[in-house]
Chains A and B, each alone.
Chain A
Amino acid sequence: MPDTGYPGTGYLIAVVAVAAAITVALRAAPFAMTATLRSSAPVADLGRHLPAGIMIILVVHLLGDVPLGSALVGLREIVPVVVTVAVHLRRRHALLSMATGTAVYAVALALVPI
């Protein structure tokens, strides 16, 4: 399965099933919770601070795959990220930020090919 290097249909079905089951459980969880647990301080605290941190970890994970062979390759990956953040902080429009970042990446990719 994992070490054949390519995902088989059975494995992919399992991936979809596991992800769907956990996602549904998470979405249904608060409706099954007791009132005390719903308003408990640690639950509220995690709810407030988890999302930003998890997203940041994912971004670092995605950038972690970047080969740091040359400064130019590093710049090609970092500059579009910085532009995306800058545009988003200024306009707070998700689609615009993503479109601008991707356009910058397309230009960077043309200047510094893989």
Chain B
Amino acid sequence: MRQVDHRNALRDVAAVGPGMGVLGTSFGLLVVGSGLDWWWAPVFSVVVFAGSLEFLLVALAVAGTPLAAIAVTTLLVNGRHAFYGLSFPLDRIRSRAGRVYGVLALTDEAYALYTARPDTSLSGPRIVTGQALMQACWVGGGTVGALAGSGFGLHVPSLEFVFTALFVVLATEATVVGREATGPLLAVACALVAQLVAPGEMLLVAMGLFVAALLVRRRISAAREAAHA
């Protein structure tokens, strides 16, 4: 029974694990390339375990960004995670420790892999094992990359683009899935305004403007619907 769970989890993770390992490696290279000690890579990946945010944190930390700005950036960049729990099949996990880990390790990949599959054979141990395997790939890749970067002085400037490419892919994917253009266009407008008005606090200003713009847009469309009714 348990063996079946482990084998299934291994098969689940085969689809995303190698990619997480490769991306983790470039994260490790970025950590040492930014001038931090190699062991910060596993520390970030074990404690924070949020891929795209970790790349951003290293850049923000090296720039000495104030903690308040780090907090708001985390809140907004990882804000999407607050919506994953609405449909993640946590009720399949019986053990208390398993449930806690299931929530702690509720990443983009875990959500994508285990939500939206009406598989009745999806067991708790299978989900938890899958999540642990994904974290192992991510932490392992990061450690290997960081050690290679510090041990062999491996410095590949073009690898820094992996970070940009990751966000470009996430933005493209989310825009396609969102099936509407005004939201993304509002985001571009907010980003450009913030870049012009407050280049030093661009992220905070842009994200604040964008959340406000979405709420106002909702108000307007709700008012319009009420007027039609």
Contact = CB atoms under 8 A, between A and B. Distances in A.
Interface of A: 1-7, 11-12, 14-20, 22-24, 26-31, 38, 41-43, 45-64, 80-81, 84-85, 88-89, 92, 94-95, 97-98, 101-102, 105-106, 109, 114
Nearest to A1: B64
B188 A60 contact: yes
A95 B104 CA distance: 25
Contacts of B61: 7, 11-12, 15
Given A27-B85, A29-B82, A62 B167 contact: yes
A61 B64 contact: no
A105 B158 contact: yes
| 10 A-B pairs closest in CB distance | A30-B85, A53-B187, A2-B64, A52-B174, A106-B158, A55-B171, A60-B191, A47-B83, A105-B161, A98-B165
A88 B170 CA distance: 10
A2 B77 CA distance: 22
A56 B70 CA distance: 18
A101 B158 CA distance: 10
A30 B87 CA distance: 9
Greatest chain A CB density within 10 A among B74, B171, B194, B215 is at B171
B157 A53 contact: no
A56 B84 CA distance: 20
Contacts of A6: 35, 62, 64
Contacts of B49: 23
Interface string B71-103: 100111111111111100010000000000001
> What's the dominant secondary structure at chain B's contact region?
helix
B202 A26 contact: no
Category for how many chain B residues contact A: 35 or more
B199 A64 contact: yes
Contacts of A49: 178, 180, 183, 214
A80 to B, nearest CB: 6
B184 A102 contact: no
B176 interface: yes
Given A27-B106, A52-B175, A98 B80 contact: no
13 contacts: A11-B61, A29-B85, A30-B86, A45-B214, A46-B214, A50-B76, A52-B177, A53-B187, A53-B210, A54-B77, A60-B188, A98-B162, A106-B161
Nearest to A102: B161
A22 B214 CA distance: 22
Greatest chain B CB density within 10 A among A42, A53, A97 is at A53
Nearest to A62: B164
A30 B187 CA distance: 25
A26 B107 CA distance: 11
B210 A57 contact: yes
Given A26-B82, A31-B103, A84-B165, 20 more contacts: A4-B64, A7-B36, A12-B36, A15-B67, A16-B44, A18-B70, A19-B53, A19-B71, A27-B103, A27-B104, A27-B106, A30-B85, A45-B214, A51-B174, A59-B168, A61-B191, A84-B169, A92-B173, A97-B165, A102-B165
